[in-house]
Amino acid sequence: MVVFGEIPKEISGTWYRMLVDPHFNPQPGTPFVDDDGNVSAFRVQDGKISMKIRYVETDRWLLERKAGRRLFGRYRNPFDNHPCVRLANDSMGNTNIIYWAGNILSLAERGLPYALDPDTLQARGPDPYNLPFKIFSAHPKVDPHKNELVGWSYSAKGLRTRDICTFSIDPNGENAQ
C-alpha cells in the first residue's frame, strides 16, 4: 500500500471494512444488497500499513463457488433459488462487521452472523453463539453500561414469520438474556 507522508508510530490497530461484492453476476433486477460479503482488514503498526481482503466464506458463497455459478435468486425470495439449495443457509454476511467476543462478526439482515478470525479473516462458521432464532440484526449496538452486545431479530423463526425478539450477548459470547 502506498502511503504519502508518514504514519505516526503511535497509531496502531486494525480497521475493518465490509463491501458488497458479487462473486457471480446477479440476476437482472436483483438489488445490490443481495451479493456476497467481502471484508478488508487494514493493519497499522510501526508506521506501516498492510491490507488483507477476502470473501466471507458463507455457506451460500461456498455452494455457488463449487457449482461455478449463481444458485440463489432474488433478495429474500427462496422460491427463486435453485432446487439444490432450497434448505441451505443463504445469509451472505455483506452488510456490517463488528468485533465481539473474539470474533469479527460478518452481518446481514438475513440470517445469522458469520464469525471470522480477526487476523486471517478466515470464516469460523455461522452462529458462533448458538442463538435460538434465525435472523440476527445487521446493526447491533454495544451497551456501554452493561458491556453487552444488544440486538434484535425480526422474523426470528424464519422468513415471513411475524415474531420479533431482542437479545444481548456478553463479552464471553454467552447469551446474556
Question: What is the CB neighbour count within 10 angstroms for residue 67?
Answer: 13
How far is C-alpha 13 from the chain's CA centre? 21
Q: In this predicted structure, what is the pLDDT of residue 163? A: 84
Q: Give the residues across from 17 on adjacent strands.
A: 40
How far is C-alpha 15 from the chain's CA centre? 15
Q: List, in sequence order, every beta strand (DSSP E) within 11-87.
A: 13-20, 37-45, 48-55
Tens-digit pLDDT profile for residues 107-145: 988 788 999 999 999 999 988 888 887 788 899 999 999
Tens-digit pLDDT profile for residues 84-112: 887 777 788 899 999 999 999 999 887 88
Q: Which sequence spans correspond to the domains of the chain?
A: 13-169
User: Is there a contact between 91 and 102 (Cβ–Cβ < 8 Å)?
Assistant: no
d(CA 22, CA 169) in angstroms, rounded, equals: 31
Contacts of 139 (CB under 8 A, 6+ apart): 95, 96, 107, 151
Provide the whole-model pTM.
0.86
Q: In this predicted structure, what is the pLDDT of residue 115? A: 95
